[in-house]
Structure 1
Amino acid sequence: MEPIVELKDLTFRYQPDDEKPALDQVSLTINEGEWVAIIGHNGSGKSTLAKTINGLLLPENGEVRVKGQTLAEENIWAIRRAVGMVFQNPDNQFVGATVEDDIAFGMENQGIPREDMVTRVQEALEQVRMTPFATKEPARLSGGQKQRVAIAGVVALRPDVIILDEATSMLDPEGRFEVIEAVKKIKEKNQLTVISITHDIDEAANANRVLVMKQGRLFKEGTPEEIFSAGPELIELGLDLPFPEKLKLALKAQGLEVPSQYLTEEGMVEWLWTSVLNK
């Protein structure tokens, strides 16, 4: 796989006299087609990192490269076209009177011909399963529906990378499930690279790779299995555990011998059925 995002020795301070930088010499590579989750406690630097990739924040030191281009003032808009962002509160992104108007807004700003816009709006609505709501007011949608519309607005611009910046944190479990399922399908259909900034460990479990941020530095990285198997260490970092890992710890506390490897929910159900309930 080819690198699509490369960060080298990235340092960023919100104020010049801040003693501790929000990002402290962060280096990482994200490959084309990957789903990478970035997790960490509040203030760990994960959202700041996302905004430097998109060029919303310019680093004090270091280098950001997207699709082989080094981020600079002269190409910042090209970088932003390549990297779409979906934020925490979808209401802050809505500008159109209807769902379809809102999805079309970004394309209007890019000067995309109307015939292409109409096709892209329809395709984006289909991908997030919101076609029946095309003429509805965004304000009247549920939280999960609003976030799916926000994702559709980004998808219609056809970026190479989508960053979900705490995009599910304000949603209920059903809304989170709707959004993540939509992202999975869009990623597969469009061969997108997904960067998920999240507190939701179950969301992070969908990733190919998980990066753990701590105090502005890249603390640890690995597959979900590798990261979530270190349960107590995650708790010390102020992070939650996926439900299967919580269940394993509870069963272990009751004296049961549990698998050492990380289990998905499906894997946990299979283990319980074959190793515990059938005994």
Structure 2
Amino acid sequence: MSQIIDVAHLNYRYPQQSADDLTLKDISFSVADGEWVAIVGHNGSGKSTLAKNINGLLAPVSGTVTVDGQVLTEKTVWDIRKKIGMVFQNPDNQFVGATVEDDVAFSLENQGVPRDEMLTRVHDALAQVNMDQFATREPARLSGGQKQRVALAGMIAARPRILILDEATSMLDPQGRYDVLKTIQQMKAQSDLTVLSITHDIDEAASANRVLVVNDGRLVEEGKPAEIFKHGPALIKMGLDMPYAERLKAALKRQGVQVPTDYLTEKGMADWLWQLSSNK
């Protein structure tokens, strides 16, 4: 499988930092075309800064970012951004249209998409996130979950090859988070989208094919979700929470129950509990 993102020896410091103080420290990794990679870490670990370096909102002091075969530079940044859609933690920061449909159409107008095609793509994108009935509403009058779905609709209409979610579900309630993640999973299945999810939500990271752990500006570990989550309490030392199934296993173990040593998803944990109770 070909690589669509390659980050090599990336270092970044903010202007107010001293020369020997870095926010990102020699980070290297690749993302395969069509892969879903979650980047997890506690607040302030550098994961959002990393996302902004990947799409050119910030420029590293050293190292390279290559997207779809193009090295990110001042000359290539606009071509690369056409391939990347980004949804931020607070969607209010990216709304520019007076109405929902105007906002979804904004990037298409900038790309010079013909009007008839643009109208079709806007309608289809809003329908895909169940927001077509709100097309003429003002974005400011929507709920947090509705705003995030509109932001996603803008990405669907623009048809990027890569979607970066920068804490995109952190302000949502559990149902809103579930709805947004389900929509992204559907998008990925339909168009073989590459997803880069920046999050401190372990349950969101469980949706990914692979997890990268960032701590104090460094990439400290990577692997499949099950490989990362089986560390259990060690995740807390990195400023992360434990998945619900792991917390439940720890609580049962404290009660003297012999629990599986391998990582289990919530479904796997439910199946094991059912089997345990039926054997009694």
Q: TM-score range by the shorter chain?
A: over 0.9
Counterpart of 1:7 in structure 2 is: 7
Tell me by how many angstroms 1:278 deviates.
4.1
Cα distance in 2 between the residues matched to 1:138 and 1:202: 28
Tell me by how many angstroms 1:18 deviates.
4.8
- Residues 69-102 of structure 1, C-alpha deviations (whole Å, 9 max, x = no match): 0011111101101111100001111121221111
Tell me by how many angstroms 1:37 deviates.
0.3
Counterpart of 1:51 in structure 2 is: 52
Q: Residue 75 of structure 2 aligns to a residue in which SS? A: helix
Cα distance in 1 between the residues matched to 2:92 and 2:176: 15
Q: Which amino acid aligns with 1:116?
A: E
Counterpart of 1:164 in structure 2 is: 165
Cα distance in 2 between the residues matched to 1:149 and 1:28: 31
Cα distance in 1 between the residues matched to 2:93 and 2:158: 18
Cα distance in 2 between the residues matched to 1:171 and 1:277: 37
CA RMSD of aligned residues (A): 1.1
Counterpart of 1:152 in structure 2 is: 153
Contact 1:127 1:185 in 2 (8 A): no
Which of 92-101 and 77-86 deviates more? Answer: 92-101
Instruction: State the number of aligned residues.
Output: 279
Cα distance in 2 between the residues matched to 1:200 and 1:41: 9
Which of 106-115 and 158-167 deviates more? Answer: 106-115
Tell me by how many angstroms 1:119 deviates.
1.4
Counterpart of 1:202 in structure 2 is: 203
Q: Residue 163 of structure 2 aligns to a residue in which SS? A: strand
Alignment of 1:1-279 (within 5 A): 1-15=1-15, 17-279=18-280
Q: Residue 169 of structure 2 aligns to a residue in which SS? A: coil
Cα distance in 2 between the residues matched to 1:100 and 1:225: 40
Q: Which amino acid aligns with 2:187?
A: I
Q: Which amino acid aligns with 1:5?
A: I
Structure 1 runs not aligned, ≥5 long? none
Cα distance in 1 between the residues matched to 2:19 and 2:132: 47
Tell me by how many angstroms 1:277 deviates.
4.9
Q: Residue 30 of structure 1 aligns to a residue in which SS? A: strand
Q: Which amino acid aligns with 1:7?
A: V
- Residues 159-202 of structure 1, C-alpha deviations (whole Å, 9 max, x = no match): 10000000011111111111111111011111100000001111
Q: Which amino acid aligns with 1:147?
A: Q
Contact 1:10 1:63 in 2 (8 A): yes
Structure 2 runs not aligned, ≥5 long? none
Q: Which amino acid aligns with 2:95?
A: F
Cα distance in 1 between the residues matched to 2:44 and 2:221: 16
Q: Which amino acid aligns with 2:60?
A: P
Which of 115-124 and 81-90 deviates more? Answer: 115-124
Q: Residue 156 of structure 1 aligns to a residue in which SS? A: helix
Tell me by how many angstroms 1:227 deviates.
0.3
Cα distance in 2 between the residues matched to 1:251 and 1:134: 49
Which of 235-244 and 118-127 deviates more? Answer: 118-127
Tell me by how many angstroms 1:130 deviates.
1.4
Q: Residue 146 of structure 2 aligns to a residue in which SS? A: helix
Structure 1 residues 275 and 18: CA distance shift in structure 2, 3 A: farther
The TM-score with structure 1 as length reference comes to 0.97
Q: Residue 88 of structure 1 aligns to a residue in which SS? A: coil
Tell me by how many angstroms 1:261 deviates.
1.1
Cα distance in 1 between the residues matched to 2:266 and 2:130: 25
